[in-house]
């Protein structure tokens, strides 16, 4: 597979249909603007089928989906004010369209699934717009998709501008596109109007141009593996964490899994015991606001959970102690905290940069709650979900639901080779993964 290349057959721009008049611009919010230096969300689905009219079906249904999720068919625009040296970044909903790439690769579904590590061809060659950052949406499509036809299946790899929406919005769009492709009724129309905590209609940034604040990072080669936690092992881990913390079953499965993986990766890193380490993961804040935002809100609505302890504390105490620490941080993320974080950003706007990440941190993205395998184009459930190279950082975990249904989880973990080898032999970690 290392010598196998992906051959592009065609590239086209898909515009919304039915064609609509240009819609009002949507100003980016304090959740959106910090994403300017972050790379696109890259997630895709592998299918073990080769339906008839595959290309035409995907193109036609994508065009209809873009008419509904019209911000994705636009471009970013920055309007500057010379009088006060301020600026505002918005989505110009001009219907410029999304990119559609049709490609082929001389590989099989099993070639993708059978190796222990995710084959590099998947991460590097099955997704469009590699290395683009969200700010590039000023001139690049905000959404691009590559259909790669394999010998016995196909892969749909999507690159989605993270300033437009978060993971919830990504999977909402993907599922709606699939509904349209199979001629199903639209189950969840998106709420496209941007939300501001203080009722404003835009964010005025205290500088004319965000470009000097941007950063383009290069990612080192890493090992990339999917680890499966069965429903039974997740239940056992959750019970252990709650028992050790005497938490009366308040610790969630995800919190227990995050604590387990945090401890195991820190052991694999071999950090000095006096140093500190942080576990970070994003949470959906739609339901934490009062009143809550609609679950169909199409934008970013994210908070960051951070728990920092010394290596000694993390490894000498029980797993339940670390899980309870994460639970407490999640519970504390109330409406007041969410609004306070937005107000703090407005008083001192900043851009997320990869160089600001602590190399001793473990960062988790995505969620096992996303209905990944419910994306139904009409040709059966996906055989697997995979992510692109732009979503892979050292000590980054990407959470997905397991294929067998509620309760099972996949963690995609990216580590330097030596750390991955140590993780694969970590006794506590190995106890709970499905072999």
Closest residue by Cα to residue 426 from 241, 227, 234, 276: 227
Buried-exposed string 324-347: b where 16+ CB fall within 10 A, e elsewhere = bbbbbbbeebeeeebbebbeebbe
Tell me how crowded residue 398 is: count the other CB atoms within 10 A of its CB: 24
Distance CA(147)–CA(155), nearest Å, equals 6
Contact indicator for 163, 137 with CB cutoff of 8 Å: yes
Distance CA(265)–CA(424), nearest Å, equals 10
Is residue 376 annotated as part of the catalytic site, yes or no? yes
Q: Which residues contact 275 (CB under 8 A, 6 or more apart)?
A: 310, 311, 360
Dihedrals phi, psi of 34, to nearest 5 degrees: -60, -15
Tell me how crowded residue 114 is: count the other CB atoms within 10 A of its CB: 9
Round to the nearest angstrom and report the end-to-end CA distance of the chain. Answer: 24
Contact indicator for 88, 204 with CB cutoff of 8 Å: yes
Helix (H), strand (E) at residue 26: strand 26-27
Q: What is the distance, to the nearest Å, from the Cα of residue 125 to the centroid of all Cα atoms in its chain?
A: 18
Give, as one character, the DSSP assignment of residue 224.
E
Is residue 435 annotated as part of the catalytic site, yes or no? no
Under DSSP, is residue 144 helix (H, G, I), strand (E, B) or coil? strand
CB-count burial class (<10 Å; 0-12, 13-18, 19+) for 413: buried
Active-site position among 110, 296, 358, 376: 376
What is the C-alpha R_g of the chain?
Answer: 22
Active-site position among 162, 172, 224, 284: 162
Q: How many residues does the chain have?
A: 435
Q: Is the dihedral of CA 223, 228, 233, 239 positive or negative?
A: positive
Distance CA(232)–CA(238), nearest Å, equals 10
Buried-exposed string 257-292: b where 16+ CB fall within 10 A, e elsewhere = bbbbbbbbbbbbbebeeeeebebbbbbbbbebbeee
Distance CA(49)–CA(412), nearest Å, equals 24
Catalytic machinery residues: 162, 376
């Amino acid at each position: 597979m290392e010598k196998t290349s992906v051959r592009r057959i065609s590239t086209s721009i898909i515009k919304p249909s039915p064609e609509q008049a240009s819609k009002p611009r949507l100003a980016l919010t304090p959740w959106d603007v910090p994403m300017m230096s972050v790379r696109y969300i890259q997630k895709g689905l592998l299918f073990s089928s080769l339906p008839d009219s595959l290309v035409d079906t995907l193109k036609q249904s994508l065009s209809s989906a873009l008419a509904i999720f019209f911000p994705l068919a636009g471009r970013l625009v920055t309007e500057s004010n010379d009088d006060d040296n301020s600026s505002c970044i918005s989505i110009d909903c001009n219907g410029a369209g999304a990119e559609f790439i049709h490609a082929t690769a001389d590989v099989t579904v099993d070639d993708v699934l059978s190796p222990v590590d995710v084959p590099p061809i998947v991460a590097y060659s099955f997704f469009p717009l590699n290395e683009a950052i969200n700010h590039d949406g000023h001139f690049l499509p905000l959404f691009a998709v590559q259909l790669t036809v394999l010998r016995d299946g196909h892969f749909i790899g999507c690159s989605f501008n993270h300033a437009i929406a978060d993971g919830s919005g990504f999977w909402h769009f993907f599922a709606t596109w699939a509904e349209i492709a199979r001629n199903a009724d639209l189950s969840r129309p998106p709420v496209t109007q941007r939300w501001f905590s203080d009722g404003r209609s835009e964010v005025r940034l205290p500088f004319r141009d965000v470009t000097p604040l941007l950063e383009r990072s290069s990612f080192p080669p890493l090992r990339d593996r999917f680890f499966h936690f069965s429903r039974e092992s997740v239940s056992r881990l959750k019970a252990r964490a709650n028992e050790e913390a005497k938490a009366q079953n308040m610790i969630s499965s995800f919190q227990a899994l995050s604590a387990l993986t945090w401890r195991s990766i820190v052991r694999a890193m071999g950090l000095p015991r006096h140093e500190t380490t942080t576990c970070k993961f994003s949470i959906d804040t739609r339901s934490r606001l009062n009143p809550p935002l609609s679950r169909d809100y199409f934008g970013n609505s994210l908070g960051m959970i951070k728990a920092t302890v010394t290596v000694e504390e993390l490894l000498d105490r029980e797993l339940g102690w670390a899980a309870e620490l994460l639970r407490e941080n999640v519970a504390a993320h109330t409406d007041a905290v969410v609004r306070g974080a937005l107000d703090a950003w407005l008083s001192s706007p900043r851009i997320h940069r990869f160089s600001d990440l602590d190399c001793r941190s473990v960062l988790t993205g995505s969620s096992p709650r996303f209905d990944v395998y419910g994306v139904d184009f009409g040709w059966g459930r996906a055989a697997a979900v995979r992510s692109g190279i732009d979503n892979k950082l050292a000590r980054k975990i990407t959470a997905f639901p397991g294929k067998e249904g509620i309760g099972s989880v996949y963690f995609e973990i990216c580590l330097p080779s030596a750390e991955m080898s140590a993780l694969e032999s970590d006794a506590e970690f190995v106890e709970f993964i499905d072999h």
